[in-house]
Amino acid sequence: MSQHDAAIAPPPASEGNPTIGILWMVASGLCFVALTATVKVVGDAVPPAESAFLRYALALPILIPMIGPLRRAHLSRRQLGLFGARGLAHTLGVITWFYAMTRIPLAEVTALNYLNPVYVSIGAALFLGETMAWRRMLAIAVALAGALVILRPGARELDPGHFAMLFTAASFAAGYLIAKQLSGEVSATVVVGMLQLTVTIGLLPFALLDWVAPDLATLGLLALAAIFATLGHYAMTYAFAAAPLTVTQPVTFLQLVWAVTLGAVFFAERVDGWVILGGLTIVGAISVLTLREARARRLRSAKGQGARL
């Protein structure tokens, strides 16, 4: 589900391998677009909540090596509450994301998903006390304008899938902000493992509300979706480790190119220039945001080192 499952802020990146980082990010984007396309092929074979549950349930084997770290974490009641809140936010976002993919073109799902970092930036200012400088506000305004270019309210009839994607991006942003609080307290393995566990459990009651017995083809496709998601996250992690976000962030626009291509070739979806323009506008604004954040971190780091000398 693209960057949806990103558990914590990316690890500090090496500055020396930008080409490797870009290649890993390209591979990650291909996996995430393949994931989206696979879920779209499943379509209405099973309800969205059930489809989402099966995708997570079929990925549960990845929890096996995490059992030890999860048991040793000795999570406090507060931490369990935060993990539960994150799991609920992610659960609702996953359901609406799967629903959106049955309603609107691949390109629009992908383009609107780019709003995730924008919501994160707004949420960090509102709830975590981060400074909202005018350049950040301008970048956010440009990104939101890009979303309006994609949606074009008033110029066309909006589908419920569009509103579902707006909710999805906000839900995943809320989960990311909670994870950001937890990432300094527990290991990345625990953060990832708890996400997988809480979302699987959270999706189960929604899936049981309207359960349809899946056939083998549907199960196979959702297992493939789980594989694409896992590979995509591994590739993204390697990309973050190999190169800074300022290098890898612009590469995410390729996801939209591939989504447009897949949608046109395999799903007979019309190539919409407005969606491409809006997606490019959002990615450009996010790239500026990323560059500004990277510079701010370097300045804070330099000041901290200077204070210790």
pLDDT at 64: 87
pTM for this structure? 0.84
pLDDT for residue 234: 81
CA dist., res. 105 & res. 270, Å (int): 8
What CA–CA distance (Å, rounded) separates 83 from 64? 19
- Residue 259 burial (10 A CB sphere; 0-12, 13-18, 19+): buried
**pLDDT for 173 beyond 70:** yes
Residue 153's SS3 state is: strand
Question: What is each CA distance from 49 to 100, 196, 205, 228, 262, in whole angstroms?
Answer: 12, 15, 9, 19, 24
Question: What is the residue extent of each domain of the chain?
Answer: 2-308
State the pLDDT confidence band at 6, using cuts at 50, 70 and 90. very low
Handedness of CA 52, 53, 55, 56 (dihedral sign): positive
Rounded-to-integer distance, Cα 225 and Cα 5, Å: 13
Per-residue pLDDT reduced to its tens digit, 216-271: 999 999 999 999 988 888 888 788 778 776 777 778 888 888 899 999 998 999 99
> Rounded mean pLDDT of 151-158?
89
Of the candidates 219, 171, 200, 209, which has an alpha carbon nearest to the alpha carbon of residue 47? 209
Compute the Cα dihedral for 143, 243, 131, 194 and give only its sign: positive
For 72, other C-beta atoms within 10 Å of its C-beta total 9
Concatenated DSSP letters of 235-292 = HHHHHHHHS-HHHHGGGGHHHHHHHHHHHHHHS-PPP-HHHHHHHHHHHHHHHHHHHH
pLDDT at 211: 95
- Cα dist from 92 to 34, 158, 164, 198, 204, whole Å: 22, 21, 10, 12, 12
φ, ψ (nearest 5 deg) of residue 74: 50, 60
Identify the CA nearest to 159 among candidates 196, 193, 112, 205: 112
Segment 177-201, tens digit of pLDDT? 888 888 778 887 888 889 899 999 9
CB 1 within 8 A of CB 224: no
User: What one-letter code names the amino acid at 52?
Assistant: A
